Structure 1
Amino acid sequence: MHVLDRIERKVLLNAPRKQVWEALTDAERFGRWFGVALEGKTFVAGQTIEAQITYPGYEHVVWKARIERILPQTLFSFWWHPFAVDPNIDYDQETPTLVEFTLEDRAPGILLRVVESGFDSVPGVRRQKAYKMNSRGWDEQMSNIEAYLNQAGPKRTP
């Protein structure tokens, strides 16, 4: 089976652009729907961030990402190692994949697109599994951000 180099998912979110953007780029909010303990942390382009995963069954895993770009209300991207869940593997020796979130106006809300690319660089012994697990994972995460935004509702900031 040939594994493609990229995973792409889209979800139409019935929420204001600002609210979608904050759910992506406010580290604490991101952590709430993504399943990472990011309380007190901030996403800063060029910096690496690490935090405990809170998703059931993966609490032993540390989520690690290097923030690539933050283009206000348009693009948020980071590098990470896909399905990096084995504590006995030094994933830092591998080439990471790039995760890019883009926002686009699409009536009646915001089209959120996520693209994870670079699977061709993941070592062959784990490439297919990483691709398969992240394909499923992105399906779930698109549902998670949608549920998070629906539950959060429109909020006014002072």
Structure 2
Amino acid sequence: MSDRIVKKVELKAPVSRVWRALSDHEEFGAWFRVRLDGPFVPGSISTGRMTYPGYEHYPWLATVEKMEPERLLSFRWHDFDEASGVAVGDQPTTLVEFRLEPVEGGTLLTITESGFEALPDARRLEVLRGNTQGWNIQAENIARHVAPSS
């Protein structure tokens, strides 16, 4: 079983526009459907609450790792296993990376989530499947968000 999810999407927007959609916490929240409490700052904790329908009770808790302008945004976010009874901050994390590359006509965005081996065996496959579906949805969301208005 693979320990990572890799999703590549070509966006019809320049790297600078995609970077803004990723790095500005309010823009990120608009397309990702999360209400963040403050801006992304490398080395700091990002908190908030999901606004995605059906997941509004899910907390957002992530540690921002890297912000390399127009190249890379990465964070470690906590799994949220409601049934475990364990506080979200004490649950294991996976690493999410958004890498940007200029391509003809826009930007190639590569979303990678890795580190699923940190999750309990009983949850790993379920989380991998759910997050794979989630990244497919989020790739569509950011593509719509950054697309030029007609």
> How would you bin the TM-score normalised by the shorter chain?
over 0.9
Residue 109 (structure 2) pairs with residue 115 (structure 1): no
RMSD: 1.7
Q: State the Cα deviation string for residues 105-139 of structure 1 (Å, max 9, x = none).
A: 11111000000000111111211111110000000
Following the alignment from structure 2 to structure 1, what is the Cα–Cα distance between the partners of residues 78 and 128?
A: 11
Structure 1 residues 85, 58: CA separation in 2 closer, same or farther (over 3 Å shift)?
A: farther
Q: How many residues align?
A: 149
Q: Normalising by structure 2, report the TM-score.
A: 0.93
Quick one: distance in 2 between partners of 1:118 and 1:94?
Answer: 13
Unpaired segments of 5 or more residues in structure 1? 154-158
Residue-by-residue CA offset, 1:80-112 (whole Å, 9 max, x unaligned): 124x15173334334311000000011111000
Equivalent position SS for 2:41: coil
Inter-partner Cα distance in structure 1 for 2:23 and 2:29: 10
Structure 1 residues 1-40: aligned runs within 5 Å: 3-38=1-36
Structure with higher strand content = 2
Stretches of 4+ moved more than 2 A in 1?
Answer: 87-95
Q: TM-score, normalised by structure 1?
A: 0.88
Amino acid at match of 1:60: H
Q: Following the alignment from structure 2 to structure 1, what is the Cα–Cα distance between the partners of residues 35 and 90?
A: 25
